[in-house]
Chains A and B, each alone.
Chain A
Amino acid sequence: MGEIVTLLKPRLWSFRARGTAGKRDRRLKLAVLGVIGGLFWAGLFALSLRVLTYFRSVDQLGEMLAHKLLSMVLVTFLSLLIFSSILTLLSKLYLSRDLSLVHATPVPGRKIFLARWLESTVDSSWMVGIYALPFFIAYGIVFRAGPIFYLNLFVNLASLSAIASAVSAMLIMTAVMIVPASRIRTIFVFLTLTFFLILFFAFRLLRPERLVDPEFFETTLVYLQALRAPLPAYLPSTWAFDSFTALISGRILTGLYHDALSLSCVGFLCCLMVLLAESVYFKGVSKTQTAAARLFKRSIGGEFIFSRFTGPRGAMAAKEIRTFFRDQTQWTQLFLIGALIVIYIYNFRVLPLERSPIKTVYLQNLLSFLNMGLAAFVLSALTARFAYPAVSLEREAFWLIRTAPISLKSFLWTKFFIYFLPLLVLTEVLIVATNFLLEVSAFMMVLSTVNVLFMVPGVVALGVGFGAAYPDFTSENPMQSVTSFGGLLFMIVAALFIGAVLVLESGPVYTILMAGFQGRSLTLLQWLWTGASFSASAALCIAALLLPMRYGVRQLETQRD
């Protein structure tokens, strides 16, 4: 046990050291993150409380719905824990940089495994646990549960986390014996995304909006029957569910019995996992040390294209594109973008505009205007995922840029253009395709296309600029840098920028559209107001392009001091 604690100490010490280094800066970041996290938590709690209170107020059916919701939350909680555990454990057990150092110590492999497993279990479950709490606490309040319910809550969340982590560890250890660890992550994320997309499309094809249509009321009977169906007895989430419902109805012994079931399962799985680790963990680590062979050795036509990229900027662009497409973790992201575009456009295709009580032409143009904001938010998310980590992705090889005869300004603008062009095309595709589906007026089509042309540079520059101002060259996974303080700041500023542009334009656009519907022309004052609003939003877009880039260059330069 002493060795396991020792193995965990570096993590604890570095956590403590983080608390003392750069105190003021850190406090500010913690405060901002804490406030946002707290608001989100409170929002979840308020929503859960409202929904559960409403359910409880509905006779008979309400309680059934609340219980069904509880079981669904528990199954989702368990699934999220397994997903999170697999990703965390893969890195921690097989891909961490300190593995060779740790495995060179005279500590048995099983203890190294256990220390890493414990660390991963905490890492993968703390956030899921914290954000699951508001629902469970609301559940306890609405159903007037006693203190033992809350104590039981912690026991169950901990045992579900341990079960998810143990099952994930066993799955990973077995999988690594067949496929290299570096590929498993890609395959796993790819499979999960595919699964999610199939589920999404299945759900969309069911057209749930028809449930509000009186013609389809008979489906409610089928739904009610489904609510009464028993839960699978072998699922750990079912034991947790049984334990919660038993305690709420005052059957304490039954509740404790289900807790014992969960805890004994934890014990059994842990023993099984350690036995498996004894026999295969080190073999897997050893296998991971050998470099995986390249999937595609020859590029088709790539060399011809890249030979056109000359000069420092061309070289940087070629390097960026090559490294991007050779990194298998990016492939799943590309798949996700493709799926996102399809879902986005499909959702517009199935909008039941003709049934709306509001005038269709008005609604079409309103939706088109709002769609600019929605597309810009999708763009922000993609920028956060791709453009924000662009500087951090240089990792420790950034010395090459530092010592090369190119300025940091040139370096950062090259990064900007690499991400700007594809993101512009993608956003324009989203806007034009959805506008076609909405059958908007020519004015709205031109307005949204031009507007996006102005907004995309701003959002991408915010991403690249903030990414340069808050780089993380030492991270094992620079893609995660977007969850840092800088990433959060980027998301907030990007949202404010998009919101400000839309607010500035909403008034004049409404006036122009209404004038068009009513067949009258704008007054001089309205023309002046429109001109001023559009000029102000153009100025805002230019500022969003130039200022963050300048800020990013300046911050990168201060790293030399």
Chain B
Amino acid sequence: MIELESLTKTYAEITAVKDLTLQVPPGQIFGFIGPNGAGKTTTIKMLGGILAPSSGRVRICGFDMAKAPEEAKRRIGFIPDRPYLYEKLTAMEFLRFHAELYGVGGNGFKARAEKELDRFSLLDWSNELIEAFSHGMKQRVVMAAALLIDPKVIVVDEPMVGLDPIAIKMVKDLFRNLAAGGAAIFMSTHTLQVAQDLCHRIGVIHRGRLIATGSPEDLMRQAKTTETDLEAVFIRLMEEDSLGIGGVRHG
């Protein structure tokens, strides 16, 4: 369960995220969409505990990120948009490192790690240094590490960047299965088709403010468009907000 309560982040005179309130219940995939610089990555970073909010609260499975950061983080599988890893470790060593940090490196680690590496087609590469991996392979290592800890919450920034079509399909199916198993998934993306295919609920952020939330169908209704394509809905919402005729709409 993810709860964001009046979350605000300001950098000097710029407000990157303003008064953001939303919940993602277990079993839901929440897509966070918006143009470049809208505040998506800032929100994701606050969710992951990388950035402290200027005001407001982040709660993960009931744990306040400011008061009990370790407990909150223990429940998150965090997948950033750029897979920076320790290049001098092998994939298997990296997974062990990650598992130990999350306190799940004990019995059965090897079998679980091999299962995750196999799932992401990396088993043959498990003993190679990460520095020899392509961007997509590194992204898959990050995903394998995030899933290895059996997270209750998955926070993912641009999940499909750098992945090949087979991996994209696999990740989509995986997220659906994880959500069916009770995980709450918060996903930021530019790829509207991914959001439309995958998300139960979508939030549209523009200039740091959440301007609309709801299912893809709700958003179409809110944007008063007959288009079934999320792209058209998105553009319409952006135009309305820029003209100041939108307001916050919840589906």
Contacts and interface: CB of A to CB of B under 8 A. Distances in A.
Interface of A: 291, 294, 297, 309-312, 314-316, 318-319, 322-323, 326-327, 395-397, 399-400, 402-407, 560-561
A315 B50 contact: no
Contacts of B127: 297
Interface stretch (B20-28, B82-90, B227-235): B82-90
Contacts of A311: 100, 103, 105
Nearest to B70: A405
Given A318-B93, A397-B84, A404-B101, 20 more contacts: A310-B105, A310-B106, A311-B103, A315-B97, A318-B96, A318-B97, A319-B86, A396-B84, A397-B86, A400-B85, A400-B101, A402-B48, A403-B49, A403-B50, A403-B73, A404-B98, A404-B102, A560-B49, A560-B50, A561-B52
Interface of B: 48-52, 69-74, 76, 78, 80, 82, 84-86, 88-89, 93, 96-103, 105-106, 127-129, 131-132
A291 B84 contact: no
Indicate the member of A309, A395, A396, A403 with the most B CB atoms within 10 Å.
Answer: A403
A122 B26 CA distance: 59
Across the A-B interface, the 9 shortest Cβ-Cβ residue pairs = A315-B100, A396-B84, A405-B74, A323-B88, A403-B78, A326-B88, A291-B132, A405-B73, A405-B70
B183 to A, nearest CB: 16
Contacts of B49: 402-403, 560
A319 B103 contact: no
A561 B52 CA distance: 5
Contacts of B85: 397, 400
A279 to B, nearest CB: 29
B219 to A, nearest CB: 30
Nearest to B71: A405
A326 B129 contact: yes
A396 B82 contact: yes
Contacts, number: 89
A326 B86 CA distance: 11
A405 B105 contact: no
Contacts of B84: 395-397, 399
A127 B129 CA distance: 37
Contacts of B102: 404-405
A192 B169 CA distance: 53
B45 to A, nearest CB: 9
A204 to B, nearest CB: 37
Contacts of A318: 93, 96-97, 100
Contacts of B101: 312, 315-316, 400, 404-406
Contacts of A407: 69-70
A315 B73 contact: no
A397 B98 CA distance: 12
7 contacts: A310-B105, A315-B97, A322-B93, A395-B84, A403-B76, A405-B72, A561-B52
Contacts of A397: 84-86
Contacts of A291: 131-132
B52 A560 contact: yes
Given A323-B86, A405-B71, A315 B48 contact: no
Contacts of A404: 73, 98, 101-102
Contacts of A402: 48-50
Contacts of B70: 405-407
Contacts of B71: 405
Nearest to B133: A291
Contact of B89 (A297, A310, A322): A322
A143 to B, nearest CB: 54
B131 A319 contact: no
Contacts of A396: 82, 84
Contact of B48 (A297, A316, A323, A403): A403
A471 to B, nearest CB: 14
B96 A323 contact: no
A445 B47 CA distance: 55
A438 B50 CA distance: 54
B100 A310 contact: yes
Indicate the member of B97, B98, B129 with the most A CB atoms within 10 Å.
Answer: B97
Nearest to B78: A403
Contacts of B103: 311-312, 405
A402 B131 CA distance: 21
